[in-house]
């Protein structure tokens, strides 16, 4: 499980090797360490240094030199705090909806459909099937479906559900919809893997001990599927918070729905304000790290994993 | 009887005309059963005989295809499992892994909004001598400890009826004996009705007041352990509850106190009050430990049945007793248990022997002999499947 890998494999593995000091283990770890140093640590340090750069005194537009300009952080937070808040707001909302939609789905496939393995695999294929089509294409397709001239929108206008001058694309709704839609498999699959192993005898024991169906669900099913819930919400929330496709104007977003990802993209590729983009990236990363670690601590799932 | 109060005493359980059909097979056929309040009742049978299904029907985890279930005179057939005044000790224990032992035990009390659930849970945990482990997780306990937690979790609710689904199956022999005694003591102390499902005939005989032997979805015979052992009604009961030597033949003579059966030329006499049928072709039997081996032909005695001569084909020593397998021409193989009163065996393989037993120890079965060959091939599909699994494992 992705989350298990995330939480435990890196740190204890490193501790183990330092304790045992086996040359073979070191040798086997070498490619991995090299890879991480080259493609993770180096860019990270470079990003950190960039975020502290100051504009060159005599250079061209978009030229910066190394400095310790920590004000960059203050500047970007002041300028972009609505985007930062919006990113997390959208990501949390999308994660919530993905969970609400995925849980019953995963429960059905993992528990109710156990007697029909064929149905189980068919349902799983259907969940993974969208991955065979490019993420961008699918999002673009939704833009078509939500466009002002689409059958859906014109019909909704015809029956006065939508105002005549209303739009669907470019709204918070369409961005959250896109995020939810695109990340649902990341929620469903970890939920499925936990629920598939759920021992229904615990549920029977619960109802034997006077718990109604609702109480069994709340007191037994949910706690036992917590590892899946945590893994699924993390796998959805982390990419959703940094996503810039759904919120971009070319896809489902508009000027009022820009997320932090869009701002980072604009700073790097359009405004060529590299320190601002780098500072925002660092802020995004730190914020996610803090939120995730609080979440994992609070949910107390370490021992269930 | 509601579930919001503790049961003052056990309730009687009544099953009326229960049928349970699953897609493809019938698990229970026309089961009628009354278990009196406060008794320790065992449902005994081989795997796939429908005993666990019966238990699940009573617990409300399955619904019967037809028939009614009454607990304490109240029809609970349409009640959901959480509404029934019944608790189960599951074969797998099914202790919640995400809760401490204490929370596991308090679960039922909390759901019923009982006062001081934790105090009551501590009390019951002391009863099973596990209060010092109350803050552990179930998976940190040994099998025997988990079993006792499962028991505590059930009896803390004071159910009118406690269901035990082979709860001792996973324990080793010594611990199982100890738990059998403990369970029996607890049952006597709290005075609840226990319905115990097991395939272990020894366990059933040690613990239960009344045993019902189940086979292929039906109850073959019901009664006190001694009664079932001494006077089995069918060849299934005779062979499932201990071992039996069975012979089939026509009744050739009847007196006021006994009947005689001809077994390929040898006359076997059975007391008339120990025979379920007295005419026609009948099956008679005797328990292996009631048999005596003789190396010379015993003198004729009207109170003793003699068979032989036969040939000893196997001798196996098992500590307390020695088991002999004797081939008597025309009567088949006889099993004889002899207590090891002296060092070394008196009889060796291939020896010529006679077998005798007191007439009063024989019994006559109720079976139609045609239905009950001595070792009937079991063609029940579930049994065959179970057999395959066992062989594969």
Whether the predicted pLDDT of B301 surpasses 90: no
- Cβ-defined contact of B157 to A209 (cutoff 8 Å): yes
What is the DSSP track for A13-77?
HHHHHHHH--HHHHHHHHHHHHHHIIIIIHHHHHHHHHHT-EE-SSS-TT-EE----THHHHHHH
Mean pLDDT of B160-165: 90
Whether the predicted pLDDT of B387 surpasses 80: no
| Residue A235 in domain | yes
Asked if residues B278 and B259 have their Cβ atoms less than 8 Å apart, the reply is: yes
Question: For residue B206, how far is the Cα from the chain centroid?
Answer: 10
Whether the predicted pLDDT of B1 surpasses 50: no
Percentage of the residues of chain B whose pLDDT score is greater than 70: 91
- Residue B2 or A152, more confident: A152
CA–CA min distance B304, chain A (Å): 55
What is the DSSP pairing of strand A54-55 with strand B281-286?
unpaired
Extract the tokens encoding A177.
Answer: 């919809």
Residue B3 with chain A: CB contacts under 8 Å: 210
Asked if residues B220 and B237 have their Cβ atoms less than 8 Å apart, the reply is: yes
What is the DSSP track for B33-99?
EEE-TT-EEEEE--TTSSHHHHHHHHHTSS--SEEEEEETTEE-TTS-GGGSSEEEE-TT----TTS
> From the list B80, B96, B137, which residue is nearest A202 (CB)?
B96
CA–CA min distance B82, chain A (Å): 4
> From the list B83, B92, B111, which residue is nearest A209 (CB)?
B111
Q: pLDDT confidence of A110, banded at 50, 70, 90?
A: very high
| Residue A123 in domain | yes
| pLDDT tens per residue, range A113-134 | 999 999 999 999 999 998 899 9
**Interface with chain A: mutation pick from B1, B107, B135, B156, highest number of A CBs within 10 Å:** B107
Note the pLDDT of residue A20: 57
Of B98, B248, B231, the residue nearest A226 (C-alpha): B98
| pLDDT tens per residue, range A137-149 | 999 999 999 988 8
Of A259, A245, A104, the residue nearest A187 (C-alpha): A104
| Residue A305 in domain | no
What are A55's strand-pairing partners? A64
What is the C-alpha to C-alpha distance for residues A277 and A253, in angstroms, rounded to an integer? 20
Of A243, A205, A227, the residue nearest A83 (C-alpha): A243
Tokens 């080793």 correspond to what residue? B172
Whether the predicted pLDDT of B193 surpasses 80: yes
Mean pLDDT of A198-217: 94
| Residue A215 in domain | yes
Asked if residues B110 and B118 have their Cβ atoms less than 8 Å apart, the reply is: no
> From the list B81, B92, B112, which residue is nearest A208 (CB)?
B81
| Residue A15 in domain | no
- Cβ-defined contact of A209 to B107 (cutoff 8 Å): yes
Residue of A nearest to B5 (CA): A210
Asked if residues B123 and B155 have their Cβ atoms less than 8 Å apart, the reply is: no
Mean pLDDT of B370-383: 48
Interface of B to A at Cβ within 8 Å reads 3, 59-61, 80-83, 86-88, 90, 92, 94-98, 107-108, 111-112, 137, 153, 157
- Cβ-defined contact of A208 to B112 (cutoff 8 Å): no
- Residue B187 or A209, more confident: A209
Locate all alpha helices (DSSP H) within chain B, ordered by sequence. 51-59, 101-111, 117-127, 143-155, 173-190, 201-207, 225-230, 235-240, 381-392
What is the C-alpha to C-alpha distance for residues B221 and B212, in angstroms, rounded to an integer? 6
| Residue A72 in domain | no
- Residue A196 or A6, more confident: A196
Q: How many structural domains does chain A have? A: 1
Mean pLDDT of A175-203: 94
Asked if residues B314 and B356 have their Cβ atoms less than 8 Å apart, the reply is: no
Note the pLDDT of residue B2: 52
Q: pLDDT confidence of A86, banded at 50, 70, 90?
A: very high
What is the C-alpha to C-alpha distance for residues B245 and B300, in angstroms, rounded to an integer? 22
Of A235, A208, A219, the residue nearest A295 (C-alpha): A235
Q: Taking all residues of chain A, what is their mean pLDDT, rounded to a whole number?
A: 87
Asked if residues B214 and B27 have their Cβ atoms less than 8 Å apart, the reply is: no
Asked if residues B312 and B349 have their Cβ atoms less than 8 Å apart, the reply is: yes
- Residue A85 or B191, more confident: A85
Residue of A nearest to B105 (CA): A209
CB hemisphere CA count around A192 (13 angstroms)? 22
- Residue A278 or B5, more confident: A278
What are B66's strand-pairing partners? B19
What is the C-alpha to C-alpha distance for residues B227 and A115, in angstroms, rounded to an integer? 43
Mean pLDDT of A75-85: 92
Whether the predicted pLDDT of B392 surpasses 70: no
Query: A195: helix, coil or strand?
Result: helix
Asked if residues B17 and B75 have their Cβ atoms less than 8 Å apart, the reply is: no
- Cβ-defined contact of A204 to B80 (cutoff 8 Å): no
| pLDDT tens per residue, range B324-358 | 999 988 888 889 998 887 765 578 888 888 999 99
Mean pLDDT of A199-213: 93
Cis peptide before A92 (omega within 30 of 0): no
Residue of A nearest to B86 (CA): A208
What is the C-alpha to C-alpha distance for residues A135 and A185, in angstroms, rounded to an integer? 12
User: Highest mean pLDDT: which of A10-24, A80-94, B275-289?
Assistant: A80-94
Whether the predicted pLDDT of A83 surpasses 60: yes
What is the C-alpha to C-alpha distance for residues B5 and B3, in angstroms, rounded to an integer? 6
Mean pLDDT of B82-97: 91
What is the C-alpha to C-alpha distance for residues A248 and A235, in angstroms, rounded to an integer? 21
Whether the predicted pLDDT of B375 surpasses 50: no
Segments forming the whole domain that contains residue A222: 85-298
Q: pLDDT confidence of B192, banded at 50, 70, 90?
A: confident
Of B203, B168, B190, B211, the residue nearest B40 (C-alpha): B211
Whether the predicted pLDDT of A177 surpasses 70: yes
Within 8 A by CB and 6+ apart from B392, the residues are none
Mean pLDDT of B222-227: 92
Of A111, A81, A296, the residue nearest A193 (C-alpha): A111
Interface of A to B at Cβ within 8 Å reads 199, 201-202, 204-212, 215, 219-220, 223-224, 226, 303-304
What is the C-alpha to C-alpha distance for residues B29 and B215, in angstroms, rounded to an integer? 10
Asked if residues B261 and B249 have their Cβ atoms less than 8 Å apart, the reply is: yes
DSSP letter at B298?
A: P
| pLDDT tens per residue, range A218-269 | 999 999 999 999 999 999 999 999 999 999 888 998 888 899 999 999 999 9
Within 8 A by CB and 6+ apart from B147, the residues are B89, B93, B167, B168, B170, B171, B179
| pLDDT tens per residue, range B3-51 | 566 766 778 899 999 999 888 888 888 889 899 888 899 999 888 888 8
| Residue A62 in domain | no
Whether the predicted pLDDT of A15 surpasses 80: no
Of A188, A178, A176, the residue nearest A126 (C-alpha): A188
Query: Can you give the CATH number for the domain in which A170 is found?
Result: 1.10.3720.10
**Interface with chain B: mutation pick from A201, A206, A208, highest number of B CBs within 10 Å:** A208
Q: Taking all residues of chain B, what is their mean pLDDT, rounded to a whole number?
A: 85
Whether the predicted pLDDT of A17 surpasses 80: no
Tell me the pTM: 0.79
- Cβ-defined contact of A201 to B86 (cutoff 8 Å): no
- Cβ-defined contact of B94 to A199 (cutoff 8 Å): yes
Question: For residue A5, how far is the Cα from the chain centroid?
Answer: 16
User: Highest mean pLDDT: which of A170-179, B153-162, B167-176, B191-200?
Assistant: A170-179
What is the C-alpha to C-alpha distance for residues B82 and B105, in angstroms, rounded to an integer? 16
Whether the predicted pLDDT of A302 surpasses 60: no
Mean pLDDT of B247-275: 88
| Residue A218 in domain | yes
Note the pLDDT of residue A119: 94
């Amino acid at each position: 499980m992705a989350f298990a890998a995330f939480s435990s494999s890196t740190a204890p593995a490193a501790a183990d090797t330092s304790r045992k000091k086996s040359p073979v283990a070191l040798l086997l770890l070498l490619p991995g360490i090299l890879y991480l140093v080259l493609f993770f640590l180096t860019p990270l340090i470079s990003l950190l240094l960039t975020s502290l750069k100051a504009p060159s005194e005599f250079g061209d537009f978009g030229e910066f030199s190394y400095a310790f300009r920590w004000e960059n952080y203050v500047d970007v937070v002041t300028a972009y705090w609505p985007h930062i808040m919006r990113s997390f707001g959208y990501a949390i909302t999308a994660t919530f909806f993905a969970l609400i939609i995925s849980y019953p789905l995963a429960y059905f496939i993992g528990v109710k459909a156990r007697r029909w393995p064929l149905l189980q695999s068919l349902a799983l294929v259907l969940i993974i099937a969208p991955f065979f089509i490019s993420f961008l294409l699918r999002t673009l397709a939704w833009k078509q479906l939500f466009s002002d001239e689409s059958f859906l929108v014109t019909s909704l206008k015809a029956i006065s559900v939508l105002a005549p001058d209303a739009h669907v694309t470019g709204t918070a709704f369409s961005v959250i919809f896109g995020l939810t839609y695109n990340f649902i498999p990341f929620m469903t699959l970890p939920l499925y893997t936990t629920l598939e192993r759920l021992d229904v005898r615990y549920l029977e024991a619960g109802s034997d001990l006077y718990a109604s169906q609702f109480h069994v669900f709340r007191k037994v099913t949910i706690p036992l599927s917590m590892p899946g819930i945590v893994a699924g919400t993390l796998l959805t929330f982390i990419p959703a918070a940094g996503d810039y496709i759904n919120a971009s104007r070319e896809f489902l977003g508009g000027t009022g729905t820009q997320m932090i990802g869009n701002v980072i993209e604009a700073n790097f590729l359009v405004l060529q304000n590299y320190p601002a983009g780098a500072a925002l990236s660092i802020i995004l990363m730190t914020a996610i790290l803090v939120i995730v670690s609080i979440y994992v601590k609070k949910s107390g799932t370490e021992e269930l994993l | 009887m509601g579930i919001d109060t503790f049961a003052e005493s056990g309730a009687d359980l009544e099953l009326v005309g229960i049928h349970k059909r699953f897609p493809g097979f019938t698990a229970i056929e026309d089961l009628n059963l009354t278990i009196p309040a406060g008794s320790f009742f065992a449902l005994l049978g081989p795997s796939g005989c429908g005993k666990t299904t019966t238990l699940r029907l009573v617990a409300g985890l399955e619904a019967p295809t037809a028939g009614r279930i009454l607990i304490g005179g109240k029809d609970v057939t349409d009640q959901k499992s959480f509404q029934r005044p019944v608790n189960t000790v599951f074969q797998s224990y099914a202790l919640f892994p995400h809760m401490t032992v204490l929370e596991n035990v308090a679960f039922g009390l909390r759901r019923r909004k009982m006062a001081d659930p934790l105090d009551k849970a501590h009390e019951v945990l002391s009863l099973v001598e596990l209060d010092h482990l109350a803050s552990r997780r179930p998976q940190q306990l040994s099998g025997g400890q988990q079993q006792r937690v499962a028991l505590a979790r059930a009896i803390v609710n004071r159910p009118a009826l406690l269901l035990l689904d082979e709860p001792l199956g996973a324990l080793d022999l010594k611990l199982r004996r100890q738990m059998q005694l403990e369970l029996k003591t607890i049952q006597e102390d709290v005075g609840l009705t226990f319905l115990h499902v097991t395939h272990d005939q020894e366990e059933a005989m040690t613990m239960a007041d009344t045993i019902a032997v189940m086979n292929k979805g039906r109850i073959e015979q019901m009664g006190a352990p001694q009664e079932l052992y001494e006077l089995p009604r069918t060849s299934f009961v005779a062979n499932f509850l201990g071992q039996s030597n069975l012979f089939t033949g026509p009744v050739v003579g009847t007196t006021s106190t006994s009947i005689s059966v001809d077994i390929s030329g040898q006359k076997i006499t059975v007391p008339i009050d120990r025979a379920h049928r007295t005419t026609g072709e009948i099956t008679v039997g005797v328990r292996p430990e009631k048999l005596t081996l003789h190396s010379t032909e015993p003198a004729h005695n009207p109170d003793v049945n003699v068979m032989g001569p036969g040939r000893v084909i196997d001798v196996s020593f098992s500590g307390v007793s020695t088991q002999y397998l004797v081939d008597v021409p025309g009567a088949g193989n006889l099993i004889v248990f002899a207590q090891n009163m002296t060092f070394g065996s008196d009889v060796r393989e291939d020896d010529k022997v006679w077998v005798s037993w007191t007439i009063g120890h024989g019994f006559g079965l109720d079976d139609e002999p045609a239905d009950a060959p001595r070792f009937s091939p079991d063609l029940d599909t579930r049994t065959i499947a179970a057999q395959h699994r066992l062989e594969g494992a």
